[in-house]
Each structure stands twice: as C-alpha cells, then as structure tokens.
Structure 1
Amino acid sequence: MTGSFLSIGECMVELSDAGNGLYRRGFAGDTFNTAWYARRLLPAEWTISYGSCIGTDAVSAEMCAFMAGEGIDTTALRRLESRTVGLYMISLDAGERSFSYWRGQSAARMLTEDRVWLRGILSERDIVYFSGITLAILSSRGRDRLCDALAEARRGGAQIAFDTNLRPRLWEDRDTMRAGMRMGAKVADVVLPSFDEESWLFGDATPADTIARYRDCGARIVAVKDGGRALTLWDSGGPRSLPAIMVQDFVDTTAAGDSFAAAFLAGLASGKNPDAAGRSAMELAAKVIQFRGALVPGIFQGGTS
C-alpha cells in the first residue's frame, strides 16, 4: 500500500524540561509531531512529508537534517534567507504543560506568501493534515490563502484533516479564533477537536455541541477528545463513545493530541473504521503521556497497537 501524507505547519526548536532545572533541546511542533508519529505508523511505502518554511541559517539546516534523519521527506520545505525558526520552552507542573514562545522571526509565518509553491506541495496528496496553530501563525490573508489551497487539494482528491488545537495567545481575539476554527473545519473531511478547548471557546456544554458545529461545517468524521475521559466519535453512522484508557501516572501531556491524530489518520488510511482507528489513537496517546517530551521513540520498540 502506497500513499502520500503531508503535514503542514510550523516546526520549532523545543526546550523540554528534563528535570533538576535542565532542559533538553529538540525539534518539535504540533503538526511535525503528527508527521513523526505517522512515519512510524504507516508503511514504509508511504511518503510522509512536512510542509513549512525555514531559514537558511545553521539551526534551520539542523532542523531539516533532523527531519530527514527521522524519515520525513523535506522536499516540501521552503527556505527563506531573511527568516529563521521559532523556539519554545515547555514547563511542567504535575504533568501539565505550559509554554513560552520566541517566534517573531519564524519563517513558517510566511507559509502562504508563495501561492504557486503552496499549491504545488499540496497537489497529489492522499492525506493533508493541518491545525489551529497552522492557521494562528498566519495573517488574516494568509489564512484565506491556505484554506483556499486546501479546498483545491480536497477537490483534487486529498483527504483533509484538521486538529483545532487552540493557542489563544497566537490569535488576535476570541472572535477571530472562533472564525478560524470554522474556516479550517469547512475545508476538512476529518476534524479532531478537544472538548475542554471547545467548551472554553464556544461554550459547548457537551461533546454533542462540538460535533454539531463541525458536522454543520461539512466534516465527514469528528472525533472529540476529552482528556482522560471517553472519546466521542461521529460519522455517517451517528455519534457514539469509546471508553477512556486509564493512565495512573502520566508524566507529560505534550504531543498527546498530536500522536492521537497520527494514529487516527493512519488507522483510517490502513482501512480501519473510525472506532478501531479511535481505539488505536487513544492507546498511542496513553503511552506517549507517560514519557517526557513530544517525540517518544521508545514506545515503538516491539511494535505498536
């Protein structure tokens, strides 16, 4: 089975808490994390690509080399001399994360400036994945350009997947963020929201409210994550819940949603129904949160579920 998976957004230098006041440098970012996990879940015959803009400086080159070394196709990266890559630091408190960002010169903010290049990297893909953060780092015009290009790719046969993934500090205001979530969902086949974020942003009382909004935007599948609680799925067969997987001692929730997205989309691509894909996604996310950092290679030793 062959295929092409493109994840599009921003990869950054990550400083993750290693304990005792020490930080470990890596490269991560929500959509890149998903590509990294997808590479380990989909067959070798699949091409897993990352689409973004980076600089021409040393750290950008190191990021590109890291991606290639992890099996990610880097031909969808555009290099800009006037920019570099962003940096973020994760702080942990009882396993819960908070972020500090330095991204003022991030090349990824220029993702949609060359529309010919953008359409080119989106063409002939089986799956294209983007997130609320992908939209948030762009200007208003950039969001329009990206969604127009995604809609064109969808008409060309690509399955578009959107993880709402809210970062309020990246948005101009709450109304713009609400509009952005709807904008992204309107060009997506699969929408992957988190109920706590949707409740905060839209005032949803139950996952059914979240499903109704994204169903009305045109999604074919909606999977509402809810932390350690049940997963609520909706497709043409109607809504249903999958029981939560209990994790006694989670360490770091970084990349829980990113790994969930990778496993869910890989499951669908492999022919699983949404329920089976959802169970696989929950199982992987439950493993990821028991380790520090966004990328956890050790959990793939001996295979995955």
Structure 2
Amino acid sequence: MTTFIFGEAMLEYHSHGGAGLRYGGDTLNTAIHLARAGHDVAYVTAIGNDPISDALEAAWSAEGVDTRYVLRHPARNLGIYAIHVDGDGERSFLYWRDRSAAREMFELPGMHSALAEAASARLVYFSLISLAIISPEGREQLLALSAQRKADGKDVAYDSNYRPALWEGAQCARALSERAMVAATIGLPTNTDERELWETDEDEQEIAKRWLSFHQGVVAVKAAERGCVLGTIGHEMPQIVPAKSAEVIDSSGAGDAFNAGFLSGWLNSRSLVECAESGQALARKTLSHQGAIML
C-alpha cells in the first residue's frame, strides 16, 4: 500500500552553486528518500504549468515517486528557496514562496481524489510547514483526514517543523500543531523546533512525554548530536538512542532524512530502536553532502 505525503516542493539555490535544477522541501525530501528505499510513495502538492515544473515532476517520477497528485496550478508557479551554509556546515534559508502553487493545492481539481485515496493509504505524512503554506480550508481538510484515519486505526505521521516566518504568530502555529499532534499516531518533532514554538526549555524526554499525552503511539524526538529520544504510549520513561559522530558539510535536510529512515524502518516492521538507527544513518549521509537531496 502507498504512503501519501502532503507538502510543498520548491526550486533550490545553494550558496556553493552547482549545475542543473535542484529542488527540495521538507516533505518532498522525505518522499524521495522513501522512494529510493523502495517504498510506494505518492506526493501531493501543486506546481505550475511551465517547463521547469515539467522538468521537476519528471525528475521526481524518475526517482520512483507517484506524481499522479502533483497538481498543476493555472496561474502560480514553484516557490524558491536559497541555502547559505557557514563554515561549520550550519544552514540558513531565504524564501520566495508567497506565490507558490502549493499554497492553493486544496482548491485545485484532483485534490478530492487525492484525499479519497489517502483515506485508505498505508500511511499519511505531513508537517507543520505543510499546514503553514495551505489555506485555512486546506488545513481543515488535511486535519480532518488525519483525525478520521486515527479514529479508524490507520497511521498518521507528523513533524512539527516550525518556520516562524510562515506564520502570522506563534499562537496560531501552536494551535494547529496541537491539533495535528492529536490527529497523529507517529510524532517526529525536533527539540529546537519544539522549544521555539512552545517557548519552553523542555528537554527531549519532557517533549516526548508531552507528545505522548496526545495519544501518539510513538514519538521520536530528534536532537542532532545528542541522538534521538523514543517514547511509546504506556511506557513511563522515554528511551535514548545515541547518535554516532558525523562529518557536517551541510545540515540541510538532515531532519527530513531522519524522518524517512525512521518511517522506512517502521514500514518494514522494524523495532523502534532500529527505526531510529535507520533514521540516524540516513541523516548522517545527508549531512555529508551539499543540498537537501543528493542528486
């Protein structure tokens, strides 16, 4: 059965240059990693009706991603982001996405069919960025899909990937993230995102416990070089999975890679520790090259 991933794909420009069209986006990165691992993945987004959009959809299809629900907007185009990497490999971003086609994907023909098929999919995955860029009506549809799946005993994975510039205020982002946490069965937060979003100094164990209070089956809190903290419903003490050392060339997309590795293990019925180790291994590989996706 197919995994359905909802989000925004963008053109990528990198401070180190590089030839050819590059692309990325948190959920797209995860979709491509999962497809490369041999999983059936459908990506749900919207792009333009232009040659660059054509080329990117063809590239994703060549990776093995199901692009039936890469919808075409008649008047909007792809968003763009630029990555700057400092001497320690830490990245910062600039965005041009106000006219991104993905912002109106829930208003396009074809979304009804995507939602209908996603209702019975193996897994649905989205992030707080997915919720940030779509319309209020789209948010309600995506959250309703997730809540119904959870009620039906089907799995939903969610990453609270927080980008303050996408929100009119942190209060709105917190409210929507909390609703997504309630609707999810697999939580994939990052410690720094959670602290910034909730204006807290919680450690990873406390973050895991808070997420589990919303009845996720499992939560994996990403903590970079500190490793990963795994929490499961019904268990009092979250488990620490330490990280191995990694060469950091560019930190772009490392969290997205972890999510893909973790979900790949989960889809293959691995133990949760094995899922975390799979995620960490893919994140280390991503850290060692430039850009969010190795092309």
1:79 paired with 2:72, answer yes
SS for the counterpart of 1:111 is helix
Residue identity matched to 2:27: T
1:200 paired with 2:196, answer yes
SS for the counterpart of 1:287 is helix
Report how far residue 186 of structure 1 moved.
Answer: 1.4
Of 106, 113, 116, 1:117 maps to: 113
CA RMSD in angstroms comes to 1.8
Residue identity matched to 1:213: R
Q: Percent identity?
A: 33
Partners of 2:119 and 2:145 within 8 A in 1 = no
Whole-angstrom CA distance in 2 between matches of 1:117 and 1:102: 29
In the alignment, structure 1 segments of 5+ residues that lack a partner are 298-305
Report how far residue 12 of structure 1 moved.
Answer: 0.5
- Written as runs of structure 1 = structure 2, the 5 A alignment for 1:199-238 is 199-202=195-198, 203-236=200-233, 237-238=235-236
Partner of 1:28: 24
Partners of 2:31 and 2:65 within 8 A in 1 = yes
Partners of 1:198 and 1:204 within 8 A in 2 = no
Partner of 2:143: 147
Whole-angstrom CA distance in 2 between matches of 1:166 and 1:281: 20
Any runs of at least 4 consecutive aligned residues in structure 1 with deviations exceeding 6 A, and if so which? none
Report how far residue 150 of structure 1 moved.
Answer: 2.2
Partner of 2:98: 104
SS for the counterpart of 2:225 is coil
Structure 1 residues 209 and 293: CA distance shift in structure 2, 3 A:
same
Residue identity matched to 1:268: W
Whole-angstrom CA distance in 2 between matches of 1:145 and 1:77: 17
Report how far residue 18 of structure 1 moved.
Answer: 2.2
Whole-angstrom CA distance in 1 between matches of 2:153 and 2:83: 37
Partner of 1:272: 270
Of 189, 213, 226, 2:185 maps to: 189
Whole-angstrom CA distance in 2 between matches of 1:245 and 1:139: 40
Residue identity matched to 1:224: V
TM-score w.r.t. the length of structure 1 is 0.89
Q: Deviations over 1:136-181 (max 9, x none)?
A: 1123333222101222344455321001111110011011111121
SS for the counterpart of 1:53 is strand
Structure 1 residues 78 and 130: CA distance shift in structure 2, 3 A:
same
Aligned length: 289
Of 155, 168, 180, 2:164 maps to: 168
Report how far residue 24 of structure 1 moved.
Answer: 6.0
TM-score w.r.t. the length of structure 2 is 0.92
SS for the counterpart of 1:285 is helix
SS for the counterpart of 1:185 is helix
